[in-house]
Amino acid sequence: MPPLTAPLATERCQPRRGAEHRIAPETARELLAELPGWTIADEALCREFRFADFRTAMLFANTVACLAESEKHHPDLEIGYGRVRVRYSTHDVGGLSRNDFICAAKIQALPAL
């Protein structure tokens, strides 16, 4: 596993299957410290983003979808007027994996809309 000090947004997602790739709660808390505004709830990494209108929220959601396709790691998205809720969890490991934090960091690094 890469060291915790590696910039998450520069990493690429790797195929991860099985419980051995599940991140321990203490490691998840350390990685979460690198992601302002994100929380861990119900074994998922979550954040709600707010926008001025529906169009901007959809633009953001589509940008996240393109990023997810390029990393082959997909979040659950909930879209409403002026908001997008992003929820990452790696189903193949039964909880959080490093991929969840990598993708969250990439979203965090997106330019503001």
Q: Which residues contact 113 (CB under 8 A, 6 or more apart)?
A: 51, 56, 59, 60
What is the chain's pLDDT, residue by residue, as a tens digit (113 residues)? 444 545 899 999 999 999 999 999 999 999 999 999 999 999 999 999 999 999 999 999 999 999 999 999 999 999 999 999 999 999 999 999 999 999 999 999 998 76
Query: How confident is the model at residue 28, as a pLDDT?
Result: 96
Query: How confident is the model at residue 111, as a pLDDT?
Result: 82
The domains located in the chain, with CATH, are: 20-108 (3.30.1360.20)
Bridge partners (DSSP) listed for residue 86: 47, 77
Cα(65)–Cα(61) distance, rounded to whole angstroms?
Answer: 6
Cα(103)–Cα(112) distance, rounded to whole angstroms?
Answer: 16
Query: How confident is the model at residue 90, as a pLDDT?
Result: 96
Cα(104)–Cα(79) distance, rounded to whole angstroms?
Answer: 17
Query: How confident is the model at residue 112, as a pLDDT?
Result: 75
Cα(86)–Cα(38) distance, rounded to whole angstroms?
Answer: 9
- Nearest CA to 54 out of 84, 76, 75, 77 is that of 84
